[in-house]
Structure 1
Amino acid sequence: MDLESAQSPQPNIMSTYVYQFTVPLHDIDAAGVMFFTHILRHAHNAYEAFMAEIGFELKSLIEENQHLPLIHTEATFLRPIRHGDKVSVHLQVATIGDTSFTVSYRFHDQNENELAKVETSHVLISPYKGERRALPDDLREALSNYLP
């Protein structure tokens, strides 16, 4: 094989979906910071927007009996999040399995300081029996574009 016909492997170009929001007053607790459960709502808002962006709007999936409930979630808070903060959520797909996938979220302020990290794991189930189902190839392919 000559050198011109040899192809070097292409690096995996990391795609990140970015979702932005401004922290509303109703997210703030008596200590003046975001109440801990609200970070999961904002992660879910980013997830819904992401899924629509890649062509898998959750409303349509539900209508097609393809439910993707959460099976695990965790959050780590690194800095206080306050009312009026402009936050960007950097979303990537961490893993893709046969029936499930995990999404990673990094929350940053307007100065690019990392505020929080969240992970959510979703599984595709049959809505009536609750049994796991294999992820469709087109969903797996769309998700794989956001693997690190």
Structure 2
Amino acid sequence: MDPNRFAYAFSVRLHDTDAAGRLFFGHLFRHAHDAYETFMTQVGLPLERLIREGEILLPLVHAEADYHRPLRQGDRVEVVLAIEEVRTRSFAVGYRFETQDGTLAATAKTVHLQINRDGSPAAGLDDAIRGAILPYLHEDRPR
């Protein structure tokens, strides 16, 4: 197994679904963010600490998703997270939502921009953040 692979699992709950019994589109981003929060904690950058104590913030500035097959209540889903791009002040996170049998159900991408606590632009991505996420950089990962 790739030591620089991060995966987060969840089950689609009844409250995640819409009237058609499928995962409500917006909940895909909630699960992506849950995976992101867990990832950041695993790499030593828990968001609650960054928000509470840090001098920097990492707001979301872009989000997109593609839905390949429906997810229904009871489905077990693995979210495979990878860093897709690291820029001067931002980084992109890619998410692959796969069913228990390995079928690709959805993909998503979020872009996070580092800013100073007062809202001003940061000079660059913090060295601790860059160092923590670079091992998970997979630019060639298919979406």
Shift of 1:60: 0.8
The answer to which structure has the higher strand fraction is: 2
Q: Deviations over 1:93-113 (max 9, x none)?
A: 000011100000000000000
| 1:35-50 matched pairs, under 5 angstroms | 35-50=24-39
Name the counterpart of 1:66.
Answer: 56
Equivalent position amino acid for 1:66 in 2 = I
* Corresponding residue to 1:135 among 105, 112, 125: 125
CA RMSD of aligned residues (A): 1.3
TM-score (norm 2): 0.91
Q: Deviations over 1:22-78 (max 9, x none)?
A: 111101001110110000000000000000000000011112132100000000000
Percent of residue pairs identical: 42
Name the counterpart of 2:137.
Answer: 147
Count of aligned pairs:
136
Name the counterpart of 2:77.
Answer: 87
With 51-60 and 125-134 compared, the bigger mean Cα shift is at 125-134
* Corresponding residue to 1:57 among 46, 51, 74: 46
| Mapped partners of 1:110, 1:69: distance in 2 | 31
Q: Contact 1:93/1:147 (CA < 8 Å) preserved in 2?
A: yes
The answer to which structure has the higher helix fraction is: 2
* Corresponding residue to 1:99 among 66, 89, 93: 89
User: Can you give the 5+ residue segments of structure 1 that lack an aligned partner in the other structure?
Assistant: 1-12
Q: Contact 1:91/1:103 (CA < 8 Å) preserved in 2?
A: yes
Q: Secondary structure at the match of 1:55?
A: coil
With 129-138 and 99-108 compared, the bigger mean Cα shift is at 129-138
Q: Secondary structure at the match of 1:20?
A: strand
Bigger Cα Rg: 1
User: Can you give the 5+ residue segments of structure 2 that lack an aligned partner in the other structure?
Assistant: 139-143
